[in-house]
Structure 1
């Protein structure tokens, strides 16, 4: 399968398709010694037999490719269909070897070695040994049927015994080696998964505010830039609100910073809960909410105009004002002021943020516990 076609699938599917492609290549490579043997008269297979073997091999791989490419194979524990492909290859090899004799048969026993090499992509030791047993039983059944039917001499039996013992020794050796590589592969996969989880956790910690669990200023700034760029590209506007807890310094000075931290944590929980109910925040509303610094918080509302943002923030403001803030120093009354701004066409994120901040300042100057909207005029 071409790289262009494979690129249409996800990474795992592309990998599985490439493995099938390697299988096709292996079959085609063995056409060389087969053809030489047929030409030299060391095989009764004939050219039509070579063509039949080639067609059967291509058919097996074509079926595997279709099953993998369509996603049908994902219903199985082995979505790469490795074991069925190896069993099919083993049966084809046994059927073909029947038509070869003498040194040609000994050489073509390497087919089984190639088959076992493909087991490195996913077989463990137990599966390898099962494949070894199947190969040994299949080969001894084939040779016994041939020799008994031909009333073969003792020398012929000894030659087949040598081939059989060599085949069994090599496949058993490859089973343990393949199983060893499989265990290494599993350990590496486990380590990779653990590393990915650790990196994901570190990433999450790096963008979270330690006290409230909301996103921190750095992440909010990044999201604001991303939303601004997306808005410029697709023409869908958004709004930003900067929220500031009223008289927070008084709370700290009166009750201490520990109580102030308790207020911040409860305040963040209320905002987070309310943000989940905002229709216009999108598929991940919490990603747009965070602590901007100190007692300031920010919420980014994609696809929301100034009027919609006001409705959302008024609901938040009412929830905060009505919530009982129970602290170690007793109940505390908390309100907030907010400045809202809607992005202007081609407006930079810094300018948008500045307008929201100016609106917040007006809300503070106007008596607090209120919202102020930044005008849309240039």
Structure 2
């Protein structure tokens, strides 16, 4: 079966998360990706190879494994002239180059956009930075720092509590997704015109774009959002609530769902109460509404309520840990884990690509490449 990006050659100079995540998505869609890893004295390749625990049964860091499947690896020392020339030769044969060095580093190596595009005007060149190439060029682009500076921590965590980061490097993931979209758009343009271009994504802009309704609250409404714990600024009830056992998550998005909730809880008149009859009213009176719901929910365990509410199409569920989340996806037939073969014949299980394509689905050809301290592809 053909893949969507058959015959697209990607040379990936990026490391850690945002860039490797983008190139893994391209690889899943069929692109041939060569990962350039740092060699030389004391080098050990991509930083995430040493970011553990946890490690898998083969002793590899699970962080590295999460974003590097379907790739080949070439280890190069840019301080070595021969290795640098090898890097330039690989880039010269690419359809797409991806890098996330500090602005100016690739230019000094002769691997910048201007140099490579002058030799090949059809090249798609993607740069991922922390704060762009202008006034923020020298600022360090770490996900935690962006979550703080970009406002995400100011709206995450309990009301009145300390700022909280999200439990995964979400900004890097978002930037990787935006980079992938940009690369695919640039490839489409190249197909139509033969012309390549530079794709630029920075982590701060990626986060600001991903703030969506919280961002427009400020840009369009002049409101600076604050931390509200698990409550939603514009919808109620939309939060976890304690039950006789466990917590029930409610995501009531319209009046029909709220009326059905009230029926299941045995308080149908609540839906007609002027304080709660509309979403706007429920948001205004969220605290008294919460108290009433908590009182009713104390009669049964959270799983019982979730089952009863789901049966009447009220969005409700329990708080799963990661293992239970994968188990749920498996029960729903989503096949969340795919086994990938290693060169030694063993396999490693990784998360399935969520994109479904009827004609050119993602493929899973190989596990993330092992580190090999030589300049040839690790899976030649």
TM > 0.5 fold call: no
Q: TM-score range by the shorter chain?
A: under 0.3
Greater fraction strand: 2
- Bigger share in helix: 1
Structure of larger gyration radius: 1
